[in-house]
Chains A and B, each alone.
Chain A
Amino acid sequence: MTMPVQGVQHGIAPPTLWICEHCDTVFRRRVLACGEVARCARCDAILARHHRVGVRGMLALVLTAMIAFIQGNIWPIVTLGLNGHLISTTLWGCIVMMWNEHAQVVSVIAAMTLFFIPIFKMGLLGWVLLYARKGERAPGFRLAMVTLHRIGPWTMSEVFVLGTLVAIVKAHMYFDVVPNAGIFAYGVLMLIITAFASIDVRELWDLTEERRA
């Protein structure tokens, strides 16, 4: 098999190839049909997939996620009752409480993976997508895309939703438990994250062009 790699400028091979990230095998690119997924013939990893959701759709998803995230953070998540006493908490309530109870490491992990990194991720994605709608690269596109790649795996909101469910069941053995608006907002956020999971944002590199001044 020969690859058409000659006749290109130094340092840059043509964007006609895919390299499998998981085994380094080189493939010739082709246009994918709707819903199609290209897999590596050697290791079966996903090379690329056709996205039903376009850039506008992604932007809509990110904005919805932001609204859900804000709602999930301003309203209490759960309320517990014992002998008429009611106690409710938000995500920040948990973070502050863990700090005060001498589990600062846990507090920092929770603050990063459930609050700061998700906010940062949504902000960067929103910024980049806002410009990508018009096929443009946002100011700071390069830095934003590199940062998005680096912080990628460090958001755990969906784990937090399952954790809340477990905590509710555990607390229900001894207390009255009322789930509040916060957890429903988080449920919505979890659905959006799942919808977003199959989207490779790196496609934005190919979809946008540097603006020529």
Chain B
Amino acid sequence: MSGLPRAGDLGLIGCHVCGMVCRDVPGHDVGCPRCGSALHNRKAASYTRCWALLIAAFFFYIPANVLPIMRTVSVGDVDDNTILSGVIELWVKGSPDLAVIVFTASIVVPVLKFFALGLLLISSQRGSGWARRQRAKLYRLVEFIGYWSMLDVFVVALLTALVQFGFFSQVEPLPGVVFFGLTVVITMLASMTFDPRLIWDGRDFDD
């Protein structure tokens, strides 16, 4: 048993929105007296919502990678690029360092998010006491890096607006980029609905 008291044991609730420490009144849905937001011991239906969003994101992630995200037309020559082939092109044609950044943002980060959130959900649902501190850090990492995946979407948007030389050269967005944008938004929502306090709610408290 750890000596550190938790809010639930002391009958307290911390407001999500303004950080105010409030008394918990059992059986009543109270609002925060300072900012008026609803107070919850834990985020509502965290497991269900997070799983649903994570699975939805995964279904969008498949076409996001399989379908091409961008079409380059140059003097009649049509070239469709997927996320991965874009990274390879960047690597081959001169900027391996930037290729690493794009690879990290577009491929490593989303995959890491799926694995990390999946791991957090399963281990917390089982009340596991394994590596709690590390899991807490993993969650904060996922939250912090999540939105950088939007990188490739903005690259496609910029190139589409810039490369408009008619017959000589043109860039068009393809459906892959829409799926990819949606994947990023949905995974962000998924990580927001996960309640990191669930990591610490297991039966065995031996930290």
Chain A residues proximal to chain B, CB less than 8 Å = 1, 3, 5, 8, 10-15, 17-26, 41-45, 77-78, 80, 82-83, 85, 87-89, 93-98, 101-103, 105-107, 109-110, 113-114, 142, 145-146, 149-150, 153, 156, 159-160, 162-167, 169-171, 173-175, 202, 205
Q: Are B162 and A171 in contact (CB under 8 A)?
A: yes
Kindly list chain B residues whose C-beta atoms are within 8 Å of the C-beta of A23.
Answer: 6, 136, 196-197, 199-200
Top 9 A-B residue pairs of the complex, sorted by shortest distance between their CB atoms = A19-B14, A163-B154, A43-B136, A167-B158, A89-B161, A97-B161, A103-B173, A94-B161, A94-B157
Which stretch of B50-58, B110-118, B177-185 is in the interface? B177-185
With A22-B197, A23-B196 in contact, is A105–B181 under 8 Å at CB?
yes
With A106-B177, A109-B185, A167-B158 in contact, is A162–B151 under 8 Å at CB?
yes
Q: Are B12 and A106 in contact (CB under 8 A)?
A: no
Q: Are A165 and B18 in contact (CB under 8 A)?
A: no
Q: How far is the CB of B109 from chain A (nearest CB, A)?
A: 11
Q: How far is the CA of A97 from the CA of B161 in the complex (A)?
A: 6
Kindly list chain B residues whose C-beta atoms are within 8 Å of the C-beta of A96.
Answer: 161
Q: How far is the CB of A102 from chain B (nearest CB, A)?
A: 8
List 8 A-B residue pairs with CB atoms under 8 Å apart, sorted by A's residue number: A1-B4, A24-B200, A42-B133, A44-B133, A98-B160, A107-B157, A149-B16, A175-B163
Q: Are A113 and B98 in contact (CB under 8 A)?
A: no
Residue-by-residue, is B90-116 near A (CB-CB < 8 Å gives 1, otherwise 0)? 100111001001100100000000000
Kindly list chain A residues whose C-beta atoms are within 8 Å of the C-beta of B11.
Answer: 5
- B152, B172, B173 — most chain A CB neighbours (10 Å): B173
Question: Whose C-beta in chain A lies nearest to the C-beta of B13?
Answer: A19
Q: Are A145 and B35 in contact (CB under 8 A)?
A: yes
Q: Are B160 and A101 in contact (CB under 8 A)?
A: yes
Q: How far is the CA of A22 from the CA of B143 in the complex (A)?
A: 12
Q: Are B101 and A166 in contact (CB under 8 A)?
A: yes
For chain B, residues 44 to 77, give those with C-beta under 8 angstroms from any C-beta of chain A: 74
Q: Are B140 and A89 in contact (CB under 8 A)?
A: no
Kindly list chain B residues whose C-beta atoms are within 8 Å of the C-beta of A103.
Answer: 157, 160, 173, 177-178
Q: Does B148 contact A (CB under 8 A)?
A: yes
Q: How far is the CB of A205 from chain B (nearest CB, A)?
A: 5
With A22-B197, A45-B136 in contact, is A94–B21 under 8 Å at CB?
no
Q: Are B10 and A3 in contact (CB under 8 A)?
A: yes
Kindly list chain B residues whose C-beta atoms are within 8 Å of the C-beta of A109.
Answer: 150, 153, 181, 185
Q: How far is the CA of A18 from the CA of B19 in the complex (A)?
A: 8
Q: Are B155 and A166 in contact (CB under 8 A)?
A: yes
Q: How far is the CB of A153 from chain B (nearest CB, A)?
A: 7
Q: Are B35 and A146 in contact (CB under 8 A)?
A: yes
Q: Does B37 contact A (CB under 8 A)?
A: yes
Q: How far is the CA of A45 from the CA of B178 in the complex (A)?
A: 35
Q: Are B151 and A10 in contact (CB under 8 A)?
A: no
Question: Whose C-beta in chain B lies nearest to the C-beta of A112?
Answer: B185
Question: Whose C-beta in chain B lies nearest to the C-beta of A79?
Answer: B162
Q: How far is the CB of B160 from chain A (nearest CB, A)?
A: 5
Q: Does B159 contact A (CB under 8 A)?
A: yes
User: Which of A3, A10, A14, A167 contacts B159, CB < 8 Å?
Assistant: A167
